[in-house]
Amino acid sequence: GVQDCHLFWGCIVGHDSIAIVDFGGMFAHLFATKVRRLKVLAEIRQPDDPVEAFQGFKGVILAGGTGESQGFNKAIFVLDVPILGCGFGHLEMARFYGGSVGPSTLSWGHSDLKIVADHPLVDGFVGPVWSSQQDVVTSVGPEFAKLAATVCKNGDLLPFTAVASDKLRRYGVQFHPEVDDTVDGDKLIANFVLAICGCKPSWTMETYLEQQIAAIRQQVGDQSVFLLASGGVDSTVAAVLLRRALGPDRLHLLHVDNGMMRKNESANVLDMFRRFDMDHNLHFVDATDTFLTALGDEVEPEKKRKIIGNTFISEFERIAKELGIERHLLGQGTIYPDTVETGANKGAQTIKTHHNRVPVIDQMIAQGRVVEPLADLYKIEVRELGELLGIDRELLWRHPFPGPGLGVRLLCSDGKVDVNEIAAIQQEVDRFIAKKGTVNMQFLALPIKSVGVKGDRRSYEHPVMISGGANWDEVANLADELLKTVPGVNRCIWNLGSHAPKSVELLPATMTRARLDLLREADHIVMDGLRRHGLYDDIWQCPTALVPVKIDNAGQELCIVRPIHSERAMTATAASLPPALLKELADKILALPGISGLTLDLTSKPPGTIEWE
Ligand code: XMP
């Protein structure tokens, strides 16, 4: 069944596929999406995976990364399939086959390319290209031919920008074909995947759907599936798919109100299931008290996540027993990035514990008791599958909403502040401003911490609140620079209030119903504003968060609005909102009782994450 496939490193049978080795950064996922767009399945592998993990693939891509390759298992070079090294992967491969690597005078970013030999890899490929390496390949082993050189600013040529050995079936490019800045990058990827590896483009949504239906039937046998249905895109698509595979009677849906849903969300979700004829065997439980009791005084983000994840499972088990649903499997709408970001990939540090990946669930997965028919798909593919299943567009294009809900948007604190740490950060910030000479703006390091991501690592650092500034672009650019320069800061937020704060104070705060209600109101104002201004579809997601910070001795919650653009949530850029909408939000949200201020998050991911936790 599907489960076995994953346990035994198998690829989805019946399709040619490519393994992509993840050396960090977001490059591997970009590659996977681009390969999949060619209708060839791609799966992520880790540098230290054993050779067996690469069996069955028709080719391997060593994706460029952050320049660390701890435990890279070079045994994979015994594989008799084409291997393409990109960026960092290019360096590793050159070294392995007797070449050398050295520092380059080339600054990273864009450069022009000169093709010096005909080869299927660079057929129709022109450039310019984008690269991120400080080092470059300075010589290659005797079997390798030079295919392309980089044209330096002074006209010099860097000769080993693209190399190939058809005898060894090894290929390398210094740049990143998977990023959009490499014009024609898709062409080079297609050349490798289709022409060199000989993959047949058979991985279409139609065949995926057929295979998943068969796999679900095989795994579930004569048992039934109990699916946690949040009303979000993923679990809804999973529900429709499971129903298609199992028929109406062997699928039970459970919607849990964990007390951390949006305003009226549970009622709306139940109503939506009814409207779309999905209310057969639909169960509902308001478990607000259970969740809030379990969370108690916990303030630490990762612990909050674990408690929420575990409570979902205990509620689920309790209801299953109550309903007499025996011999059921747990259904989940887990998608591919959820399995990777949790660090299911060995070696990588846990960035966050996805609510679908707490240890109890891992145990159940090992026992084959979890059905996750979307676990191979990226969000965009889930939406595509949903369309194929005839699910309403309105439902498929809802903004993603995390399983732990407002639980990752309502920040808690024990109220303790490391005064020295804040002072040190503020000093660095002041030094930065002094250099910039921005006198009409205030930059203030806040005492609260939020989660972010740097390289492969989770960060837990302070935001800087910026007051003043003429317009979004000016402030966002400064914020960007500040984040690159000042250590200990992982976010910049822009004050939408009328004046710069004179004092800020961190308050102790936990997950309470009253705070959640306040956040629900603020979130409702934001979502309603986006819809009325016709921006809902342009913005990928727009979390609203509260942090327990008093400003100028007033209020106790600072509100943060975080509109972003993204494609697959692995990376994101901050989006601007029109001044008219910002004014509206300020008028309404600042009027809510207890709100101390309103800000707009200007941070991209990385270094911020989408949620604040
Ligand atoms: P971050 O905050 O890591 O979020 O940049 C990336 C995307 O994932 C969503 N998210 C979750 N979704 N369960 C979910 O179903 C979770 O535990 C979870 N945590 C984050 C987040 O909303 C964003 O779209």
**pLDDT in the model for residue 107:** 58
- 3-state SS, residue 501: coil
- Give the chain's radius of gyration (CA, Å): 25
Q: Give dist(CA 90, CA 93) in Å, integer.
A: 5
**pLDDT in the model for residue 3:** 33
Q: Determine which of 227-231, 438-442, 576-580 has the lowest per-residue pLDDT on average.
A: 438-442
Phi-psi sector, 366: left (phi>0), alpha (psi -120 to 50), beta = alpha
Proportion of the chain above pLDDT 70, given as a percent: 94
In this prediction, residue 451 has a pLDDT band, given cuts at 50, 70 and 90, of: very high
Q: Give dist(CA 599, CA 610) in Å, integer.
A: 15
Proportion of the chain above pLDDT 90, given as a percent: 72
Residues 6+ apart with CB under 8 A from 172: 84, 85, 86, 89, 90, 93, 94, 137, 140, 144, 160, 162, 163, 164
pLDDT tens digit string along 378-401? 888 999 999 999 998 888 999 999
Name residue 198's amino acid. G
Q: How many CB atoms lie within 10 A of CB 103?
A: 10
Atom of ligand 1 nearest to the CA of 308: 17
- 3-state SS, residue 170: strand
The residue whose CA has the least distance to atom 18 of ligand 1 is 402
Q: Give dist(CA 602, CA 476) in Å, integer.
A: 6
In this prediction, residue 154 has a pLDDT band, given cuts at 50, 70 and 90, of: confident
Would you give the DSSP letter of residue 511? -
Q: What's the 206 CA to ligand 1 centre distance in angstroms?
A: 28
Q: Give dist(CA 9, CA 29) in Å, integer.
A: 18
Higher pLDDT, 302 or 103: 302
Q: How many CB atoms lie within 10 A of CB 565?
A: 15
pLDDT (average), residues 57-63: 96
- 3-state SS, residue 493: strand
Q: What's the 332 CA to ligand 1 centre distance in angstroms?
A: 15
Q: Determine which of 143-157, 341-355, 370-384, 396-410 has the lowest per-residue pLDDT on average.
A: 341-355
pLDDT (average), residues 364-391: 92
Find out whether 137 and 90 touch, Cβ atoms under 8 Å.
Answer: yes
Mutation choice for ligand 1 from 397, 611, 612, 613, CB with most ligand atoms inside 8 A: 611
Indicate the angle between helix axes 205-220 and 379-388, nearest 10 degrees. Answer: 90
**pLDDT in the model for residue 200:** 96
Would you give the DSSP letter of residue 372? -
Q: How many CB atoms lie within 10 A of CB 390?
A: 9
Pair of tokens at residue 487: 């250590």
**pLDDT in the model for residue 153:** 75
Is any atom of ligand 1 closer than 6 Å to the C-beta of 610?
A: yes
Q: Give dist(CA 458, CA 452) in Å, integer.
A: 6
**pLDDT in the model for residue 27:** 84
